[in-house]
Amino acid sequence: MSHVRTDDAPPGEVDYVAVEQSPRFVELKKKHRSVVFPLAALFLVWYFVYVLLSSFAPEFMAQRVWGHITMGLLLGLGQFVTTFAITMGYVRFANNRLDPISGEIRDRLEQEEAR
Amino acid sequence: MNDFFASVHSGIASAIATAENDPILNMSIFGAFVAVTLFIVIRASRNNKTAADYYAAGRSFTGPQNGFAISGDYLSAASFLGICGAIAINGYDGFLYSIGFLVAWLVALLLVAELMRNTGKFTMADVLSFRLKQRPVRLAAAITTLAVCFFYLLAQMAGAGGLVSLLLGIHEQIGQSVVVAVVGVLMIVYVLVGGMKGTTWVQIVKAFLLIGGALVMTIWVLALNGFSLDTLLANAVSASITEPQDAILGPGLQYGANPWDFLSLALALVLGTAGLPHVLMRFYTVPTAKEARRSVVWAIWLIGLFYLLTLVLGYGAAYLVGPEVIKDAPGGVNSAAPLLALALGGPLLLGFISAVAFATILAVVAGLTITAAASFAHDIYANVVKKGKVPPDGEVKVARRTVVVIGVLAIVGGIGVQGQNIAFLVALAFAVAASANLPTIIYSLFWRKFTTRGAVWSMYGGLAAAIILIVLSPVFWGTDTSVFRNVGTAIWPLNNPGIVSIPLGFFLGWLGTVLSSKKEDPRKAAEMEVRSLTGYGAEKAVSH
């Protein structure tokens, strides 16, 4: 699979504009952004919900859920759980879905360069 | 029951007095740490030839190694002693503080680490100036880098002085100054001789000791409480001196007076981490973006584990040492973790934890110094002043000289601010990182239309806003704990500028871009995008 060179690409160098417009790269970029943006938005919203509850609803956060464990402690530990879960989920996605495509494009560019 | 606790607590208080005056043990444990790390640093320095060796450790560390080093770089004495103490005294609010420090790593993992590794060489400015005009963007990025490093470094050095009075029983100004100087000289030696490789190993060893020590103490505390978090909390509540006693389980004790202040701080914490230049520089010490990803994953697990441990240690200190004893001890809140070590394992464990606290300061200041030196030599000297025309070894030579200058400045500054209330400097470093660095990092990685004007406005605007608001705040004016004690009134009501300066940094980046008359080179933008996502043309590991 080769890409069409754009007109003003400097001769002898990698034509990055063409690579950027190639379907495989567009797919990579779309996949990357469609996962990292929602995940980033998700954890930021969840974190600020937690911070706002702690700041402006202290009675709610101080109520006991079980024994001496309060709602605030439980949700705080929940922040740890979600952080670890998002980390593992993203790594799995990146290893299985992003790395094959990015590796393929990189290998092709390195071959072209060697020629 | 209360009498029993009172007698235990007074027993501990008298034990403190004796242990404190046994500095020989503390110093010899610390000396052993210095000897071991110096040995490693000298061994590691043999291959320090090129700039990539000196700044980026030849990009030869593995993901797990770098994950440990990131934790060692990130977990400062403030976060160890400070958070343990805050939980011991204020319970829940101390825990709340630590969560921001962890969650922030998701910004680094998802948005920054891999893309930065693929497009940069040594510094943050490499990435920011990739497709924009070199000199103005590099200069601005170097200035914000130096500002963050300077604030953070000063806080650490001043902390070293305070730690001495706490751990070694040295209360005289002169003795504390000597220790600050020793820390500074050791730091210069590590960074000068070992470069990034030596610095990294110091951070790895320190992270190992810190997390290991905290783990042992946590298991010990849990064992004393029947391995039940509920029992531990019940015991902490019964030892509490707050009204009502179980207030330590809910929010409000530390930040309740001004919730907006905490919101502002939380913004700075969660968005600042991924803009800290000494953290960003660590991503260049691994061979590929995949390893950068692995290192952040390791860092998240280690840092998360550590903050979970501090929860147990903090409530454990509240129960086993008691909030009154902690508050009355020299060093105040910061003494919670060392006093807990003393209560658990006697002078030997206290000596170990004290040595770890010193090692922590050393590792963090070394990381800050090499980052500042790299930024000055690589960005300002080589690229802005000399416009890239420097002999191969010229840049590293300048970097080494800069290390000495920064070290001397840090010693003088650290001695100069003794006794001042400078705890705000760490929060200011995070606020500057979030207001001046992060917007430009995010825009240049994800927004094609972003221009030089947007970058420069955002960086200088964010930096200026953060500093000006701090200077106008209660940190400087009008309260008992202000720099100018009970003088004047604060114009800006919050202790942290983040809630204004961070949105302002993002806004200025957008405004500067839409008001730019000149568009940036689309080919450069395409190149950056392709390289950042694929890793094509990324800096390779140095092989010796």
Domain range summary for chain B, segments of one domain joined by +: 2-534
> What is the pTM for the complete model shown?
0.92
B285-323 burial by CB neighbour count: b if 16+ within 10 A, else e? bbbbbbbbbbbbbbbbbbbbbbbbbbbbbbbbbbbbbbb
Q: In chain B, which among 110-129 make CB contacts under 8 A with chain A?
A: 110-111, 114
Helices B452-471 and B424-432 meet at what angle, rounded to 10? Answer: 160
CA-nearest residue of chain A to B98?
A: A76
Give residue A89's pLDDT band: very low, low, confident or very high (50, 70, 90): very high
What pLDDT is recorded for position B4?
41
Q: For B124-162, how does the pLDDT look when each residue is reduced to its tens digit (9 = 90+)? A: 999 999 999 999 999 999 999 999 999 999 888 887 777
Q: Residue B340 has what pLDDT?
A: 94
Count CA within 13 A, CB hemisphere, residue A24. Answer: 20
Model confidence band, residue A3 (pLDDT cutoffs 50, 70, 90): low
When pLDDT is averaged across residues A29-38 and rounded to a whole number, the result is: 97
When pLDDT is cut at 50, 70 and 90, the band that residue B46 belongs to is confident
Count CA atoms within 13 Å of residue B453 on its CB side. 12
Looking at residue B2, what is its pLDDT?
42
More confident: B79 or B91? B91
B428 and B494 in contact (C-beta within 8 Å)? no
pLDDT at res. B34: 87
Q: Give the model's pLDDT for residue B10.
A: 46
Q: Specify the amino acid at residue B37.
A: T
Range of weakest confidence among B66-70, B420-424, B509-513: B420-424
Has residue A57 got a pLDDT over 80? yes
CA angle B401, B402, B408 (to 5 degrees): 95
At a CB cut-off of 8 Å and minimum separation 6, what does B488 contact? B477, B478
Chain B residue numbers with beta carbons less than 8 Å from the beta carbon of A114 are: none
Asked if residue A6 has pLDDT above 90, the reply is no
Least confident of B114-118, B281-285, B394-398: B394-398
Given the structure tokens 């550590």, which residue do they identify? B306
| DSSP assignment string, A17-41 | HHHHHSHHHHHHHHHHHHHHHHHHH
Confidence of residue B178 (pLDDT cuts 50, 70, 90): confident
Q: What is the mean pLDDT of chain B?
A: 89
What percentage of chain A's residues is helix, strand, coil (to nearest 5)?
A: 75, 5, 20
Specify the range with the lowest mean pLDDT, choosing from A91-95, B24-28, B503-507.
B24-28
When pLDDT is cut at 50, 70 and 90, the band that residue B451 belongs to is very high
Report pLDDT for B204.
95
Task: Work out whether the CA dihedral B505, B511, B513, B516 comes out positive or negative.
Answer: negative
State the pLDDT at residue A8. 64
Mean pLDDT computed over B296-305: 97
Q: Which residues of A68-89 are buried (b: 16+ CB within 10 A; e: fewer)?
A: bebbbbebbeebbebbbebbee
A25-29, A37-41, B20-24, B160-164, range with the lowest pLDDT: B20-24
- Residue B21 pLDDT exceeds 70: no
Name the helix (H) or strand (E) containing A66.
strand A64-66
Tokens of B434: 């979030």
> Judging by beta carbons within 10 Å of its beta carbon (0-12, 13-18, 19+), is residue A1 exposed, middle or buried?
exposed
Phi, psi of B477 (to 5 degrees): -125, 140
Contact B99 A25 (CB under 8 A): no
In this structure, what token pair is assigned to residue B412? 């003088």
| Contact at CB, B95 and A73, closer than 8 angstroms | yes
Q: Are B272 and B104 in contact (CB under 8 A)?
A: yes
**Superfamily of segment(s) B2-534:** Sodium/glucose cotransporter (1.20.1730.10)
Integer Cα distance of B461 and B435 in angstroms: 8
Query: What is the average per-residue pLDDT within B298-303?
Result: 97
Rounded Cα distance between B388 and B386, Å, is 5
A28: closest chain B residue by CA:
B533
Q: How many CB atoms lie within 10 A of CB B332?
A: 14
CA-based R_g, chain A, Å? 23
Provide the pLDDT for residue B14. 46
Residues of chain A with C-beta less than 8 angstroms from the C-beta of B96: 51, 54, 72, 76
Q: In this predicted structure, what is the pLDDT of residue A115?
A: 74
Task: Check residues B195 and B542 and name the one with the higher pLDDT.
Answer: B195
**Residue A40: which of B110, B249, B534 has the nearest Cβ?**
B110
| C-alpha span between B505 and B246 (Å, rounded) | 41
pLDDT digit string, tens, across residues B87-104: 999 999 999 989 999 999
Q: Give the integer Cα–Cα distance in Å for B362 and B428.
A: 21
Cβ–Cβ contact B237 with A under 8 A = yes
Residue B335 has pLDDT above 60, yes or no: yes
Tokens of B335: 């003494």
Q: Can you say how many angstroms the Cα of residue B272 is from the centroid of all Cα atoms in its chain?
A: 11
Instruction: Name the residue type at position B265.
Output: L
B381-391 per-position pLDDT tens digit: 999 999 989 88
Specify the pLDDT at position B288: 94
- How far is B376 from chain A, CA to nearest CA, in Å? 31
Tokens of B411: 């010693």
Half-sphere exposure in the Cβ direction for A80 (13 Å, CA): 20
The predicted pLDDT at position B11 comes to: 47
* Percent of chain B whose predicted confidence (pLDDT) is above 70: 94
SS3 A70: strand
Is residue B484 classed as helix, strand or coil in its secondary structure? strand
- The answer to whether residue B106 neighbours chain A at the CB level (below 8 Å) is yes
Which residues are CB-neighbours of B483 under 8 A, at least 6 positions away? B420, B421, B475, B476
d(CA B471, CA B475): 7
